[in-house]
């Protein structure tokens, strides 16, 4: 999959910008605070359905303007017919999403059409960060390849929010029928079963792929491993991996501990509390990995995300690298560029020369774009 064009209007500081990407390496370069990350934010919006920087839709509208819009054109491998995705975000009113001109009901309907893997400095600490960062990695990666997952995850979140409100009502003396608790336990554990099994399957794929990349990247003998861990044990001995047993266990937890959960003010068990356990040679990476190892694992997770996406969908996603090279040594930079050879990459960097291979513009499909104060010009080769 290759993104061919992107257009922005009043999207953050991008007043009126139109870009044509090369199918190979694209380098967006310029000084700080010029709009480089805003361009990637706009592209990734179509892969994730919202900003990767945690911003709300309305934050994407240029200050003092009534709306923002963005549009991308992309080609699936082997296809000559371009697909477009567009979003309009009015300051007042509902956002409008469309695919090739046809309106979409919301992000859930859009996810999976345009697929991208994003590398950014904040992701380099995914190993030592909190469990929510690792769950989020899984949710974003799986959502791009499974429509069912998007559906169950959205349902799960909806029921969780409703049950949270119910717990608070109950804690403040409101009456709740036993049947109502049972219905929520039933709905949550049903959606949880799908979430467990998809996340576990994904972790098994990561486990193999990350170990392979890691070995190549570090020339080492150490093996990182990934295991999906649920936040409670099932009572069925020997069936620890059985997702159906796990969701039955969840049903029981949610019907038998209501007073405890009401006191805590939230649902205490379920996939929203799960984690991915990452080890290096069987030792907990959170406690024992060096900073360099942690970064290497994080980068290998991203490379693996791209590889798994290709295996599940038949084509590589687009790789978006936001300012990661400034954080990495030359060996890791070169390793990433080698591993991504032949795929489409869009990189932001203050220095165009920070991108390995960028000096070799004759036989390489490298395009340069200079970003300055929210405007972009194709800038030919790096100096
Ligand atoms: N809604 C908005 N309206 C107008 N400008 C905005 C809006 N949101 C952010 N900006 C501005 O956009 C500018 C560029 O931001 P961006 O993150 O893209 O910079 P960058 O080129 O990636 O810089 P760096 O190299 O420091 O990462 C910033 O000056 C920021 O204040
Ligand atoms: Mg930036």
- Checking if the pLDDT of 364 tops 80, the result is no
Residue 247 has a pLDDT of 86
Atom of ligand 1 nearest to the CA of 371: 21
- Checking if the pLDDT of 153 tops 80, the result is yes
Radius of gyration of the chain (CA): 22
pLDDT in tens, 1-30: 999 999 999 999 999 999 999 999 999 999
- Checking if the pLDDT of 357 tops 90, the result is no
pLDDT in tens, 190-201: 999 999 999 999
pLDDT in tens, 291-314: 989 999 999 999 999 999 999 999
State whether the beta carbon of 38 lies less than 6 angstroms from ligand 1: yes
**Ligand with an atom nearest the CA of residue 56:** 1
- Residue 376 to residue 43: CA distance in whole angstroms: 15
Residue 238 has a pLDDT of 46
Residue found by looking up tokens 């010009």 in the block: 377
- Residue 254 to residue 268: CA distance in whole angstroms: 8
Reading the block at residue 197, the tokens are 């099994």
**Ligand with an atom nearest the CA of residue 371:** 1
User: 64 falls in which pLDDT band (50, 70, 90)?
Assistant: very high
pTM: 0.94
Q: Do domains 1-115+317-383 and 124-314 have the same CATH topology?
A: no
- Residue nearest to ligand 1 atom 7, measured at CA: 12
User: Which residues share a beta bridge with 87?
Assistant: 70, 97
Show Cβ contacts of residue 201 under 8 Å, excluding neighbours closer than 6 positions: none
Q: What share of the chain is helix, strand, coil (3-state, %, to 5)?
A: 45, 20, 35
What is the domain partition of the chain in residue ranges? 1-115+317-383, 124-314
Mutational test site, ligand 1, from 10, 31, 33, 350, max ligand atoms within 8 Å of CB: 33
Most confident among 206-220, 306-320, 325-339 (mean pLDDT):
306-320
State whether the beta carbon of 349 lies less than 6 angstroms from ligand 1: no
Mutational test site, ligand 1, from 14, 19, 36, max ligand atoms within 8 Å of CB: 36
Domain 124-314 has CATH 1.20.1050.90: yes
Atom of ligand 1 nearest to the CA of 31: 25
We find that the CATH architecture of domain 1-115+317-383 is: 3-Layer(aba) Sandwich (3.40)
Residue 230 C-alpha to ligand 2 middle, in angstroms?
35
């Amino acid at each position: 999959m290759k993104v061919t064009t992107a257009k922005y209007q009043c999207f953050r500081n991008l007043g009126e910008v139109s870009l044509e990407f090369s199918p190979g390496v694209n380098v967006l370069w310029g000084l700080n605070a010029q709009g480089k990350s805003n361009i990637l934010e706009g592209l990734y919006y179509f892969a994730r359905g919202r900003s990767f920087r945690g911003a709300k839709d309305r934050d994407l509208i240029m200050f003092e303007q009534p709306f923002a819009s963005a549009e991308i054109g992309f080609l699936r491998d082997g296809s000559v017919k371009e697909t477009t995705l567009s979003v309009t975000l009015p300051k007042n009113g509902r956002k409008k999403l469309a695919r090739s001109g046809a309106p979409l009901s919301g992000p859930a309907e859009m996810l999976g059409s345009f697929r991208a893997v994003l590398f950014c400095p904040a992701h380099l600490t995914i190993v030592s960060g909190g469990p929510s960062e690792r769950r989020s990695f899984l949710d974003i990666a799986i959502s791009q390849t499974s429509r069912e997952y998007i559906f169950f995850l959205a349902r799960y979140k909806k029921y969780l929010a409703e049950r949270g409100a119910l717990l608070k009502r109950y804690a403040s003396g409101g009456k709740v029928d036993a049947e109502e608790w049972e219905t929520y336990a039933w709905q949550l554990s049903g959606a949880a079963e799908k979430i467990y099994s998809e996340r576990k399957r994904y972790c098994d794929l990561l486990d193999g792929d990350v170990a392979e990349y890691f070995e190549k990247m570090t020339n080492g003998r150490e093996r990182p491993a990934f295991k999906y861990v649920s936040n409670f044990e099932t009572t069925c001995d020997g069936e620890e991996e059985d997702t159906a047993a796990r969701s039955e266990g969840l049903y029981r937890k949610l019907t038998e501990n209501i007073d405890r959960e009401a006191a805590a003010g939230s649902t205490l068990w379920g996939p929203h509390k799960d984690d991915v356990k990452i080890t290096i040679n069987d030792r907990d990476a959170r406690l024992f990995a060096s900073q360099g190892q942690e970064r290497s694992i994080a980068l290998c997770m991203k490379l693996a995300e791209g590889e798994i996406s290709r295996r599940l969908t038949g084509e590589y996603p687009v790789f978006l690298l936001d300012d990661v090279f400034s954080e990495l040594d030359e060996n890791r930079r070169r390793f990433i560029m080698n591993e991504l050879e032949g795929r489409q990459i869009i990189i932001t960097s203050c220095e165009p020369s920070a991108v390995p291979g960028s000096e070799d513009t004759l036989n390489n499909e490298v395009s340069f774009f200079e970003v300055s104060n929210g405007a972009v010009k194709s800038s030919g080769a790096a100096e």
